[in-house]
Amino acid sequence: MKTDWNFLRLTGLLYAVAFVVGYIFLSLFADHEVVRAAIGAAIISLVNILLGYLSIRLSFEKSNITFLKIVLGGIGARLFAMAALVLVMIRYLGFQALPLTLSLLFFYMINLGLEIYYLETKATVKKQS
């Protein structure tokens, strides 16, 4: 299956806009540690959405059971990995918990919207062919 560059461009655009607007806003009204936590959350979330994209892309042409196993198992694995990274970032790297968690929540909502959009786009294309 070929790479869906439209989805990757949309993801990059949304993250770039969120990063620039968030960085400007946080730089004006928050201290350095809050900005650092938001950047860390953005990086974790970007990796999360790219892994989600890969799991959907690799499993889409498979049977429904295999698709659900890969996608839902991938969601669980990605959530577990994100929780472990957050624990490491807070406990060992000294990130502030509240801004990191709130930033992750914000980016996770963007990720959910992007994944739903991607699944809907893929389902529409599959119906038409």
pLDDT (tens digit per residue) in 88-117? 999 999 999 999 999 999 999 999 999 999
Predicted pLDDT at 54: 93
Separation of first and last alpha carbons in the chain = 14
How far apart are alpha carbons 63 and 16 in whole angstroms?
A: 35
Unique residue bearing structure tokens 């957050």 = 86
* CA dihedral angle for residue 61, residue 64, residue 69, residue 73, rounded to 10 degrees: 70
Predicted pLDDT at 1: 64
| Tokens read off for 30 | 């928050």
Under DSSP, the state recorded for 62 is S
Predicted pLDDT at 17: 95
| Tokens read off for 117 | 């959009």
pTM of the model: 0.90
Per-residue pLDDT of 33-42, as tens digits, reads: 999 999 999 9
| Segment holding 43, helix H or strand E | helix 32-59
How many angstroms from the chain centroid is the CA of residue 17?
Answer: 15
| Tokens read off for 95 | 């990130």
